[in-house]
Structure formats: structure tokens, C-alpha cells
Structure 1
């Protein structure tokens, strides 16, 4: 499975979280619950700032 893990920063609470770039489910912030990314069938649609790519495969 090819894909990237990315570190994102929530715009509401500034929490940083790592998620899979091809997320199959909606990803919510673990702290405040706002939506960080939604699935599109390929690369996830990331709604917040991407801080870094953690691992590229």
C-alpha cells in the first residue's frame, strides 16, 4: 500500500495530529472534534494546514 502519513494542525485548537494521506474515513480532531480530512476515494481532502510529511512510502 503506497501512501503518506502527514502531520496536520487543527485551526480551532492548534492540536497537531498524524493522519494517513489516503484516509478512508472522516478524520476528526482528537481534542475539539472538528473535521480535519474527508475521504475522496483516493487522496484525502485535507481541510487544515499540513505541517510536514512524516513518512513517504
Structure 2
């Protein structure tokens, strides 16, 4: 079950946080609460700008 971790910038407040590419639950911004990733059963739909791929496995 390989996956990647992405550094995502929130579109509302520009906070950057790490999100797993295959997130199994909704990931929200720790600062403003905007949804950053929505699970789809495979790769999550990332709603912010992916700044960097932190680690790929």
C-alpha cells in the first residue's frame, strides 16, 4: 500500500500542512477548517495547492 505525503497550502489562509495522498478520512486545515483532502477509496482529492511531495514510497 504505497503512497505519498504532500505539503499542501490551504487556499483560504495559506497555512501549509502535510497530507497523506491516500487519506481515508476528510482532512481539514488546522487553522481555518477548510477541507484540504477528501477520500475517494484510492487517491484522495486534494483541494489546496500541492507545494511539495514530502515522501514517496
TM bucket normalised to smaller:
over 0.9
Note the C-alpha offset of 1:31. Answer: 0.3
Give the TM-score, by structure 1 length.
0.97
Aligned residues: 57
Counting only pairs closer than 5 Å after superposition, residues 6-21 of structure 1 correspond to structure 2 as 6-21=6-21
Quote the Cα distance in structure 2 between the aligned partners of 1:47 and 1:31.
15
Unaligned runs of at least 5 residues, structure 2: none
> Cα RMSD (Å) of the superposition?
0.5
Give the TM-score normalised by structure 2: 0.97
